Amino acid sequence: MAHQYKYFAFISYNSKDLAWGKRLQRKLEHFRIPSTLCSQRGWKRKPINPVFFAPTDIQPGGLTDELKHRLEASKNLIVICSPNSAKSEWVGTEIEYFHELGRSANIHFFIIDGIPNSGNPDTECFNPVVKKLGLPEILGANIHEKIYRWSWLNRERAYVQIISKLLDVEFDTIWKRHRRRLISQLIAWMVAISAVLTAMIMIWANSQPFNTSISIREASIHNSSLPTLSNAVVTLSIDKETKTDTIANENDNAEFLNIPHKYLGKEARIICTCPDYLPVDTTVRLERNITVNLSRNPTVYGNIRTELWDFKRNIPVKNTKVIIDRWEIQSDSEGIVRKSVPLELQKTHYSIHIPEYNISDTIAMPTNDYHSIGIN
pLDDT the model gives residue 56: 53
DSSP 73: T
Which CATH number is 7-187 given?
3.40.50.10140
Q: How far apart are CA 186 and CA 222, in angstroms?
A: 66
In sequence order, the 6+-apart residues with CB closer than 8 A to the CB of 332 are 318, 319, 338
pLDDT at 63 exceeding the cut of 60: yes
pLDDT the model gives residue 1: 36
* CATH architecture designation of domain 299-375: Sandwich (2.60)
For the chain, residues classed under CATH 3.40.50.10140 are: 7-187
CB 41 within 8 A of CB 48: no
Q: How far apart are CA 192 and CA 101, in angstroms?
A: 49
Q: What is the mean pLDDT of residues 270-296?
A: 93
pLDDT the model gives residue 276: 92
Q: What is the pLDDT of residues 177-223, one digit of tens each?
A: 888 888 888 888 899 998 888 888 876 766 788 899 999 998 888 88
pLDDT the model gives residue 58: 46
Query: Minimal CA–CA distance to 78: which of 7, 179, 4?
Result: 7
* Reported confidence tier of residue 172, pLDDT bands at 50, 70, 90: confident
CB 337 within 8 A of CB 327: no
Query: Minimal CA–CA distance to 290: which of 315, 313, 259, 331?
Result: 259
What is the number of other CB atoms lying within 10 angstroms of the CB of residue 121? 10
For the chain, residues classed under CATH 2.60.40.4130 are: 210-296
The domain defined by 210-296 carries CATH number 3.30.310.50: no
Q: What is the mean pLDDT of residues 287-298?
A: 93
For the chain, residues classed under CATH 2.60.40.10 are: 299-375
Mean pLDDT of the chain, nearest integer = 87
